[in-house]
Structure 1
């Protein structure tokens, strides 16, 4: 009888008892899940409130680094205004920077960045104005990269050269480079450089000097020959006339009897 009871007891299902450690781990997992859900919920609320608030909109935009370019022109070409979406503007910053550079030829680089919580600043770098083009008594800026701006400006009061007859291209780029190699003393003596572009020499310039003299020179050798100009003036002992430096170094006095044809030439320096 006892054996039958023992057999019956062995056949009964045995229930496992969870340890306190397992219960503790399960409780922790439940709490972590609830914390995650609550955190996502509150973050979503905060993000929604942020985008509904004025902090997600541009409060103001400033321009820095300009010297000759007008700030208003930069702002207008950026097409960015207070009240625009802060992040939409930021993620389109490259497009905005390109637009500023394309619409303002004197801007060499535009960088859009944050300034404070919801303000922007456009940092500008400019091409330097290195000369002025005169035409019909009007003046236009010539930039260091050889670009001629269309905007008409007042007569310049700087020591930068006045050019005439030039258009954008090789001749203009070469004369700007050659001019930069002149001695400062010679630069101050130049009043105007006129491009001739004749059949005999497509790189010929006629230079008008502040001391009343004139100079003919070829652009490729312009700086090399023009740097001798003070010595040539001393050699003619103050006499006024035309210095022909195209192929050599000759002086044609203004009072020569054959000024317009075969003029008497005095060799000043050898080639």
Structure 2
């Protein structure tokens, strides 16, 4: 019985030594390193932009990515603040997938020679862009966070057929109407409206625009009517 017990212990020791040897051999082989990297879930960011922010390359051990995934995710979000979350997956033993969730972009603001992204809580992402991205509106003159959040929420809730046509929002208050806003549309028309009612009234925009013989102004401040641009002489 004692002899059998010693034999079992010996076999267990040999097994663990073999496992350690295999593990060490694995760590020293190309099989332990990342081979291909793919990025899923990006919308406004580029895949290579995300990969660069993670600082993962083909010399990185796949195992270390998962051991360090929390710190890699934090580093990536710090580098690219428009990222909400980062996670990692693997397939084919050596291929790594970086799964990204971005904050919803509701427009851009231009200041100091750069464009900055506005996300769905009215927050401005501190990430400089030399040129505008996507088909998002630009906000001008909305200097307070409260005003910016209000107008970006209005944009967020517009019908899709109207939303994709919006080019730029301008804060344009007057003494008579401190709530006045102007909107440049991608189809060439301009809208004058009241920020308190513009979300509800913009649903009428497609119908009014379709009846206009020339490009012009659609006034939604009081009622809803349109008139063509004045011809330049």
TM-score (norm 1): 0.63
Deviations 1:134-161 (A, max 9, x none): 56997654444433552032586x4x44
Alignment partner, residue 26 of structure 1: 2
Are positions 1:151 and 2:151 aligned together? no
1:48 to 15, 24, 33: 24
Alignment partner, residue 70 of structure 2: 94
Once residues 212 and 49 of structure 1 are traced to their aligned partners in structure 2, the CA distance between those partners, rounded to angstroms, is: 68
CA contact (8 A) 1:77 1:103 kept: yes
CA contact (8 A) 1:97 1:112 kept: no
TM-superposed deviation, 1:122? 0.6
1:65 to 15, 23, 41: 41
Alignment partner, residue 148 of structure 2: 172
Are positions 1:217 and 2:194 aligned together? yes
1:85 to 45, 57, 61: 61
TM-score (norm 2): 0.71
Higher RCO (CA-CA < 8 Å; seq separation 6+) = 2
Deviations 1:25-77 (A, max 9, x none): 23321221222222233222222222222223333322223232112211111
Alignment partner, residue 130 of structure 1: 106
Distance 1:137 1:241, change over 3 A: farther
TM-superposed deviation, 1:212? 5.1
Unaligned runs of 5+ in 1: 1-24, 256-271
Alignment partner, residue 13 of structure 2: 37
What is the aligned residue count?
A: 226
Secondary structure of the structure 2 residue equivalent to 1:151: coil
Once residues 200 and 48 of structure 2 are traced to their aligned partners in structure 1, the CA distance between those partners, rounded to angstroms, is: 43
Are positions 1:112 and 2:77 aligned together? no
